[in-house]
């Protein structure tokens, strides 16, 4: 672990030299964050966690939440129902593509892009005394190993300006991928995106996937092994959107990014790694985060094809 700290330090000093990228201004509240922040963390499947940099800074999960709600829907509604509405193919398009649904079935291509994630949100149901947004917050709190909260300002900011996601949701309604609860499904989707966490929380979520669905600190099983494998597989083929081929080729681990500058990778059977740095590229990936996770994977020899 002390070797890992040295590697973190070296990667951080190199990453800080990268100054390209922009804040995700299309969600107005995300334009207010300090662009200089950088944090990296890893949690092993034994539950040991190590972090470096701004590891107390909070950020919203944004699209890094998508694999976890996908897994939740698999657990709750079953594979057959989930995939009767959502495919398992990379779309080759940006995360917010509005035109791309599968030709014959009109399903979203996969649960890692906005259309698929909104469809997933529509499948998560209220339970007695526990409305679905609370159930989703509980899920993420269990994954992180501590109580998390929604960032209300980011939630409201996205809700107010989400014309594109709203258009996607109406298209999904038109093709009967989702029902009449369009606004409710969008709200739940914006809420999962607005969950506040730090880089250690995200590493713990990633480590749960590395550990076959069992949270390494609490030892609580959150996903079945089968569903965990499904989540990681789709992260590998679709998690980095239209740059997933380059990612797979150069990094070689399943990963997921979010426009807040959060990014995480899963090294099955070994560890979860996470990075946060807000300046993103045109695909919506943190530039420093991509560099950091690529370097870490390389330096630890963790490419899964190696
Ligand atoms: N909430 C964001 C959106 O729907 C998430 C996108 C992302 O992180 N790539 O636009």
pLDDT tens-digit profile, the chain (306 residues)? 678 889 999 999 999 999 899 999 999 999 999 999 999 999 999 999 999 999 999 999 999 999 999 999 999 999 999 999 999 999 988 899 887 789 899 999 999 999 999 999 999 999 887 899 999 999 999 999 999 999 999 999 999 999 999 999 999 999 999 999 999 999 999 999 999 999 999 999 999 999 999 999 999 999 999 999 999 999 999 999 999 999 999 999 999 999 999 999 999 999 999 999 999 999 999 999 999 999 999 999 999 999
pLDDT at 128: 81
Q: pTM here? A: 0.97
Distance 96 CA to ligand 1 centre (A): 7
Q: Whose CA is nearest to atom 4 of ligand 1?
A: 114
Beta bridge pairs of residue 42: 50, 273
Is the Cβ atom of 30 under 6 angstroms away from ligand 1? no
Q: Which atom of ligand 1 is nearest to the CA of 241?
A: 9
Nearest to 167, CA basis, from 177, 182, 179 = 182
Tokens of 170: 């109406």
State the Cα–Cα distance between residues 213 and 219, nearest whole angstrom.
9
pLDDT at 39: 97
Pocket of ligand 1, candidates 21, 22, 24: which has the most ligand atoms within 8 Å of its Cβ, to mutate? 24
- Give alpha helix (H) positions in the chain: 2-15, 66-77, 79-85, 114-123, 132-144, 152-161, 163-174, 182-193, 199-210, 225-238, 244-250, 287-299
Pocket of ligand 1, candidates 67, 114, 118, 286: which has the most ligand atoms within 8 Å of its Cβ, to mutate? 114
């Amino acid at each position: 672990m002390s070797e890992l700290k040295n590697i973190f330090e070296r990667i951080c000093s190199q990453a800080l030299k990268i100054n390209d990228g922009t804040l995700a201004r299309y969600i107005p509240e995300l334009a207010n964050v300090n662009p200089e922040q950088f944090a990296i963390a890893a949690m092993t499947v034994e539950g040991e966690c190590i972090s470096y940099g701004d590891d107390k800074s909070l950020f919203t999960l944004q699209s890094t939440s998508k694999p976890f709600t996908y897994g939740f829907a698999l657990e709750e509604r079953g594979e057959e129902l989930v995939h009767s509405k959502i495919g398992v193919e990379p779309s080759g398009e940006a995360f917010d593509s509005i035109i791309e649904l599968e030709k014959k079935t009109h399903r979203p291509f996969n649960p890692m892009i906005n259309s698929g994630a909104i469809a997933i949100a529509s499948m998560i149901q209220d339970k007695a005394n526990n409305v679905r947004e609370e159930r989703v917050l509980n899920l993420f709190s269990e994954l992180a190993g501590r109580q998390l909260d929604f960032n209300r300002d980011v939630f409201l900011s996205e809700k107010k300006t989400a014309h594109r996601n709203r258009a996607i949701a109406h298209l999904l309604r038109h093709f009967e991928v989702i029902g009449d609860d369009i606004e409710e499904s969008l709200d739940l989707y914006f809420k999962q995106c607005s969950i506040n966490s730090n880089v250690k929380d995200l590493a713990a979520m990633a480590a749960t996937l590395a550990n076959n669905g069992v949270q390494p600190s609490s030892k609580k099983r959150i996903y079945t092994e089968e569903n965990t494998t499904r989540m990681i597989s789709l992260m590998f083929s679709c998690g980095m959107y239209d740059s997933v081929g380059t990612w797979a080729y150069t990094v070689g681990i399943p990963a997921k990014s979010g426009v807040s500058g959060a990014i995480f990778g899963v090294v099955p059977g070994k560890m979860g790694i996470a990075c946060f740095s807000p300046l993103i590229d045109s695909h919506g990936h943190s530039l420093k985060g991509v560099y950091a996770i690529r370097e870490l994977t390389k330096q630890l020899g963790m490419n899964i094809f190696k």
